[in-house]
Amino acid sequence: MFSRSSLLHLRIPFSFFLLPIFFFALCVSPNFNEPRILWVLVIVHLLLYPASNGYNSYFDKDEKSIGGLENPPPTKKGLYYLALLLDALAVALALLYLNVTFAVMLIVYGLVSKAYSHPSIRLKKYPFISLVITGIFQGVFTFVMCYVGLNDFEIHQAMKWQVLLPGFLTSMMLWANYPMTQIYQHEEDSKRGDRTISLLLGVKGTFVFTAMVFGVAVILFLLYFYFNFTAEIAWIFLMITIPILLYFFYWLYLVMKKKSLADYKHTMRLNTVSAICLNGFFIFLFLRVSHVMQLFN
């Protein structure tokens, strides 16, 4: 169960790319405390996400690069049980240290992520359904889940526009990024019969789709920060998107010259640039709204 192969397939470092959702939920949370911050972070990023990664890897059985793992080793049966163990541990810790609502949302997320790759359902092979569901559950659903856990709220306390609107914005970002995570897997997805959104769009179409959706997402984020925070915060957010856009269009330029450069290495570089910029921004925003920075003035 705890073989090197299984541990690698959990792809724990890949959770870094999804950290902005947690930090964004933290920025709009009114009642969090330090222990709850730690438990939500550990449960979501060190248990829930790795469990999902491991479960999907077990059924995908990829032979070529996957997100966060350039040369995936063959999967073993122990990976399946390890993924289920991490799911169970996440729910148990949520019940012990957070609340029932958060635990139930973990279960729902886990079931949906399993439906993504399990052969009896395999949402991954349906391009538009998988796009919508991935954006919703990794975006607004996870945002609300973190919000509930951080604040010890029930679900009805999170069902308000002050929470759902920023949650929806995270879904917009994920809808922009999701096809890019598939752009280097066209050959392997085709062999398995998975008709992913990136495969449907093609390499050039994937870049165009991402550029359009990301552009809309940035505009909506700017409006959100301008009206709910300050013009300064909106401008800072705009500035942090510049490195992302520069690398994106540089990569597009390379791909236009040589299509094979729509590969794993460049995809991970784009994800890394995006995660560093967005995590940095939301950490800064949290420090600003929580007034922690005033302690150093």
Residue type, 206: T
Residue 112's closest CA among 89, 87, 94?
A: 87
Report residue 144 as tokens.
Answer: 């609300």
**Which pLDDT tens digits describe the chain residue by residue (297 residues)?**
567 788 888 888 889 999 999 999 999 998 878 899 999 999 999 999 999 999 888 887 766 767 666 777 788 888 889 999 999 999 999 999 999 999 999 999 999 998 888 878 888 788 888 899 999 999 999 999 999 999 999 999 999 999 999 999 999 999 999 999 888 888 777 776 667 888 888 889 999 999 999 999 999 999 999 999 999 999 999 999 999 999 999 999 999 999 889 888 999 999 999 999 999 999 999 998 876 554 444
List the domains of the chain with CATH numbers. 4-291 (1.10.600)
The 8 Å CB, 24+ separation contacts for 257-263 are 259/203, 262/183, 262/184, 262/203, 262/206, 263/65, 263/184
Report residue 192 as tokens.
Answer: 């398995």
How far apart CA 150 and CA 288 sit, in angstroms, is 18
How far apart CA 15 and CA 275 sit, in angstroms, is 10
Task: Tell me the whole-structure pTM to 2 decimals.
Answer: 0.92
